[in-house]
Structure 1
Amino acid sequence: MSDSKTPETIRYKRAYEKAEKSDGYRVLVDRIWPRGVRKETLALDAWRKDLAPSNKLRRWFGHDPQRWAGFYQKYFRELKEKQQAVDELLEVCGDRPLTLVYAAKDDEHNNAVALKMFLEAYQASNQ
């Protein structure tokens, strides 16, 4: 990763929650568009399907909390293969907050939570 600015904070937010100015750079990190949500309502800066878990991994996980540890470990392996996409995401949002938008009902066991964990560890290892 270059010495360019990176997000001051990384957070996640359900697609069904109201977009706020304090969200900063808002990026949808699901492979599938959230059911029943209009594009204008989401107020996204980007939709990064390329940073979502593979279809195979997503189906395997099935939002089963008992598979959480296995899911995020496998997802981290997928993300390590996408270093350029990860760098692009961090660089394009600059020093604004980064909000990872997701549709899952489970607020603790989803790809946005895992992606936040990955990005924070990635940033820490590249400082």
Structure 2
Amino acid sequence: MAFDLAVKRIYEPPAPDDGQRVLVDRIWPRGVSKEDAALALWLKDIAPSDDLRKWFGHEAARWAEFQKQYRVELDGNEYAVGELRGLLRHGKVTLLYGAHDEKHNNAVALAAFLRKTD
């Protein structure tokens, strides 16, 4: 079953076609109010572990290894992955992240994981 999934920086304004907006970072992004975020859910538990996040440090050279290790964490995180899949069964979901790098971040890796395991 294909689903409608998007990835977006939380600093971009909410849009009518975002569907359910889900923050997938463990740490709340600086300078964003809860009201401005317009979240359906803050799913902290689906974010990479603190150790993995700190090791990665958004260094592009570590991207492949980060994705591999994050997939292992996601495989062992059935509850949070299941919660997100449940939302996807009800329509579009936009995964939100706070990182500056739009290509190398946990939301992009999470979206790839979900699409691969769909």
What TM-score bracket applies, with the shorter chain setting the length? Answer: over 0.9
Distance 1:13 1:58 in 2: 19
Distance 1:59 1:109 in 2: 14
In 2, Cα distance between equivalents of 1:82 and 1:49? 12
Shift of 1:25: 1.0
Where structure 2 has 5 or more consecutive residues not aligned to the other structure, the ranges are none
C-alpha distance in 1, partners of 2:103/2:87?
A: 26
Identity of aligned residues (%): 50
Which of 29, 34, 52 does residue 24 from structure 2 map onto? 29
Provide the C-alpha distance between the structure 2 equivalents of 1:120 and 1:41, rounded to a whole number of angstroms.
Answer: 28
Count of residues paired in the alignment? 118
Deviation at 1:95, TM superposition (A): 3.3
Unaligned runs of 5+ in 1: 1-5
RMSD in angstroms over aligned alpha carbons?
1.3
Deviating above 4 A after TM superposition, structure 1's stretches of 4 or more consecutive aligned residues are none
Distance (whole Å) between structure 2 residues aligned to residue 45 and residue 57 of structure 1? 26
User: Quick one: which amino acid aligns to residue 63 of structure 1?
Assistant: H
Distance in 2, Cα, partners of 1:8 & 1:115: 14
- The answer to whether the Cα contact below 8 Å between 2:5 and 2:88 also exists between their aligned partners in 1 is no
